[in-house]
Structure 1
Amino acid sequence: MQSVVTFEKPIPHLSLPDWDARLYGLQVTADTRRADAFDLRHSAHQLRNETRIKTDWDSYHNNNRLSARIYEIEQWKSTIEDLLTRIDREMNLLKEEKASTERELEQLNMPLLVCSECLSNRDGKRSTELTYDMADMELKKELCVTEANKKLLIDRCQSTWEKINRLESVKFKLQLDLNDKTEALTIDKNMLSLDKDCANITYKTDSLKTPKRMITGEQWLQKVEANRQMAQDELQDTLRLRESLFVARERARNTLRAQTDVTNYMLRRRIYETQRARNELDWQKMKMEENMDKLATELKVMGEQFADKVNALKLAETRLETRGYRPGIELASDEADLGLKEEVRNLRETIRQLQEKLDCGKSTYNALEDASIKIAIDLADKNQSLEVDTRALEMRAALEPKKLKGTDKNLVLASMKDEVPKITEC
């Protein structure tokens, strides 16, 4: 009979070997878990170090890339700003050249007006003085030269206007490019200033997407190079155009000045020739009037002689007629009868000769008078021609350039007039 009652759990009990085996299994499991934990910590530490180093180097390289990109864009921005400054300067200079050319073009109106007035006035000459002389030919040539200069300057002004429009277009494109680069610089600088501790960084949806307008770096470089080359080509062409404007103005001015000098010389030469012809006609007219006076005196004397011979003939014929009434044998052919008949014949021949000479003298006097009238008319025409040519030469005095002296002349000859600052009086 038991004094103590014992109770056992109604579950299977382990034997000691099973218990030892279970303990050994727990030990092995713990060692394995610790080894796994150690390996995990080691690999995690290594991964942390590698990812930190990679992230730092990636951030460093990208920061350097951003800095290089910012530097590159700043260089291109400086280049574009320099090009814009040069374009503005060239546009201002080109506009000044265009304004100078337009002023030169306006100044051609005076030579055209003067040349036209000279041709119109010279066309008012009378009779034989209305000739195609060298002065008339040079005036027409000057008109053609002035028209050619005007057309040349108009073409140059048109080319300048077109070039200014092209420069405006290039300036607009460069300004857009400059604005884009300024905005890109602002974005890249802001991105360069960000770090992982900034408050305004967030996750972005589909951050690896490629925008539709994105181009490659080579394409970007080609575009900016093309813009720079386009601007440089336009600037070079603008320089040539400005030089051509200056050359066109000087050439037109020199050509017109040379033609003006030739025309003035021909007008002065024509005036000299007309004056010489007028003086010759004055002398001829004076000699003609002297001869007419002498011939008139001679005609008067011949007329008196003719009248005297007529009276003498009347006397001789009266004597012959009266002696024909002698009576009887007294009507004889004596010496007196023969002498009177010879006298009548001589007087008749003398009267005939005097009459012929008088007729010839009168016709000569009439011819002299007609020639004198023609000379007087031609002399009046030449005086009127002289007045016309002299007035034309006086009208052309407006085309003569103002004569400069001293420093002003040297500045104009050296084309340095615009370089010297103007002195303003206080």
Structure 2
Amino acid sequence: MKMATATLQSREIPPERPVFETGCGSRNAEMEITYTGNTGNDMGISTMGFRASKYNPQEWAESNYAKYYTSFVDRDNAERIRHESKRCVNETETTTNKTQAEVTKKLGERIQDINFWKFELEREIGDVISETDLLLAQKKRLENALRATEIPLHISTDNLNCRQRRQGVDLVQDDVELGLLKEVEIINNCQDLLKKTIDQADKQIKLNREAKQNLEMDWSDKKEALEIDTASGALKNEHTNKQFYSGAAKFEEIQSTPESWAQFTHDNIVRAEHERMASIQLRQLIDNILEDTSRDMREQCDTVDVNFTKRIEEMEDAKTKMEENLQKICDEITQMEKNIDVLRKAIRDKENPMKVSQTRLENRTYRPNVELCRDPVQYKLVGEVNEICQSIDALTEKLNHAENSRKSLQDNRMALEKEISCKKNSLFIDRDKCVSVRTRYPTTMKLQGYQ
């Protein structure tokens, strides 16, 4: 063909005959259009025709042979391609089915792994939730116990304030007051300890919930991955819910490895177990704290109650003895008043003898001349007057002593009455106010946070 084409193209066209190609030629021949210009008497006449030269037989035979050979080569190549295509189809189908089966098997194994860790996460989530609920119950006990301490603190403070209203010598810092001060201190310490423990419980509950949240997020991711892998494993070639996704067959920039994937979940579970164990230890600590605080407060309460009982007995005994002394003092005052009356009467009784003696002496001063004699009568009358004066002085002294004694007795009576009033006031405060209020002291169970 190339030789024939070259032969045709080598043919020369006379220069006076332009060639116009129509663009519709073939490999074997070319159409030429020739025309003759206007010359002399031939104006208006044109000539059109084909190329004069033709192929020779050899070229024709070579052209046919070339087509035979080309046909043979193309058929042979097509047959080879058909056999290779059939073999490739079978091989690729086998490989694809085998690979798909292996991928399905791997998906099944992956699903088992996900199910295993999902079950472990579910178990740990349940344990953390249960532990958090128990810790919340313990925190509720702490809050109840803290509220319960307000009553003992109010009772102790009220007792101290009431006992400040004691009077006189009864305003003493006795064992009861020392016990009440110690009780207030113990209650304040218990409240501080309970508040700190509540804060610690809040922090632990927050840590438990954070651990549970991490586990739940991991579980949610695994649930979603399980659904995806389950759907992927169940996907078949004949299903309609499949399509092409360009760029799907590539590795993401950030992907975990099976080891890091398992380690991530393992670390989450370990952290959750750590927080759960810390929560269990905190619950045990809360039990011990509630037991210790309730025991300390109740023991101090019992001690203060014993001190109150002892103090009340002492004040009742002192009050009884003072009342007895008061009765004796009152009796003695009565006797002393009678004695004072007797002394005053005795002094008054000396007035007439004194008047008689002094009148006698006065009358005897009127004796005339030598009769005004310092005779024995005169001496006796003077001695009588002096004797009566001495008696009156002695009686007056005794009267003064008696009156001073009566005043002292009356002062003592007033002091005793005042002291008895103080004792009654102290007894009213301790017995009727303080002890009666202390009967409302919370029980041990309430102090331990139980309703």
Q: Which residue is equivalent to 1:405?
A: none
Q: What letter matches 1:259 in structure 2?
A: Q
Q: Give 1:49 shift.
A: 8.5
Q: Which residue is equivalent to 2:438?
A: 396
Q: Give 1:394 shift.
A: 0.7
1:44-69: CA deviation from partner (whole Å, max 9, x where unpaired): 97x88987776666455444433322
Q: Which residue is equivalent to 1:19?
A: none
| Aligned equivalents of 2:414, 2:442: Cα separation in 1 | 41
Q: Which residue is equivalent to 1:246?
A: 287
Q: Which residue is equivalent to 1:385?
A: 426
What secondary structure, in the 3-state scheme, does the structure 2 residue paired with 1:398 have? coil
TM-score of the superposed pair, with normalisation by structure 2 = 0.75
Matching of residues 5-16 of structure 1 within 5 Å: none
Q: Give 1:228 shift.
A: 0.5
| Aligned equivalents of 1:11, 1:350: Cα separation in 2 | 205
Q: Give 1:153 shift.
A: 2.0
Q: Which residue is equivalent to 1:424?
A: none
| Aligned equivalents of 1:327, 1:199: Cα separation in 2 | 178
| Aligned equivalents of 1:69, 1:136: Cα separation in 2 | 75
Q: Which residue is equivalent to 2:118?
A: 77
1:156-176: CA deviation from partner (whole Å, max 9, x where unpaired): 222222322222222222111
Q: What letter matches 1:185 in structure 2?
A: L
Q: Give 1:400 shift.
A: 5.6
Matching of residues 24-423 of structure 1 within 5 Å: 58-195=99-236, 198-391=239-432, 392-399=434-441, 401=443
| Aligned equivalents of 2:245, 2:165: Cα separation in 1 | 94
What is the total number of aligned residue pairs between the two structures?
A: 378
1:360-395: CA deviation from partner (whole Å, max 9, x where unpaired): 111111111111111111111111111111121011
Q: Which residue is equivalent to 2:18?
A: none
8 Å contact from structure 2 (residues 347, 392) kept in 1: yes
* TM-align CA RMSD: 3.2
| Aligned equivalents of 1:226, 1:140: Cα separation in 2 | 52
| Aligned equivalents of 1:331, 1:400: Cα separation in 2 | 103
Structure having the larger proportion of residues in helix = 1
Inter-CA distance 400–94: structure 2 relative to 1 (3 Å threshold): closer
Q: What letter matches 2:436 in structure 1?
A: E
Q: Give 1:197 shift.
A: 5.4
What secondary structure, in the 3-state scheme, does the structure 2 residue paired with 1:399 have? coil
| Aligned equivalents of 1:184, 1:89: Cα separation in 2 | 27
Q: Give 1:344 shift.
A: 2.1
| Aligned equivalents of 2:250, 2:386: Cα separation in 1 | 148
| Aligned equivalents of 2:91, 2:175: Cα separation in 1 | 102
What secondary structure, in the 3-state scheme, does the structure 2 residue paired with 1:83 have? helix
Percent identity (aligned): 24
Which has the higher Rg, Structure 1 or Structure 2? 2
| Aligned equivalents of 2:154, 2:57: Cα separation in 1 | 139
Q: Give 1:396 shift.
A: 1.0
Q: Give 1:126 shift.
A: 2.5
Inter-CA distance 204–401: structure 2 relative to 1 (3 Å threshold): closer
8 Å contact from structure 2 (residues 151, 442) kept in 1: no
1:75-105: CA deviation from partner (whole Å, max 9, x where unpaired): 1101110111112212222222222222222
Q: What letter matches 1:205 in structure 2?
A: S
Deviates more, 1:352-361 or 1:51-60: 51-60
| Aligned equivalents of 1:202, 1:333: Cα separation in 2 | 171
Q: What letter matches 2:137 in structure 1?
A: E
Q: What letter matches 1:401 in structure 2?
A: T
| Aligned equivalents of 1:400, 1:74: Cα separation in 2 | 53
Q: Give 1:200 shift.
A: 4.6
| Aligned equivalents of 1:200, 1:101: Cα separation in 2 | 58
What secondary structure, in the 3-state scheme, does the structure 2 residue paired with 1:228 have? helix
| Aligned equivalents of 2:278, 2:269: Cα separation in 1 | 14
Inter-CA distance 155–400: structure 2 relative to 1 (3 Å threshold): closer
| Aligned equivalents of 1:220, 1:318: Cα separation in 2 | 141
| Aligned equivalents of 2:402, 2:240: Cα separation in 1 | 135
Q: Which residue is equivalent to 1:17?
A: none
Deviates more, 1:211-220 or 1:226-235: 211-220
| Aligned equivalents of 1:162, 1:311: Cα separation in 2 | 105
| Aligned equivalents of 1:144, 1:251: Cα separation in 2 | 15
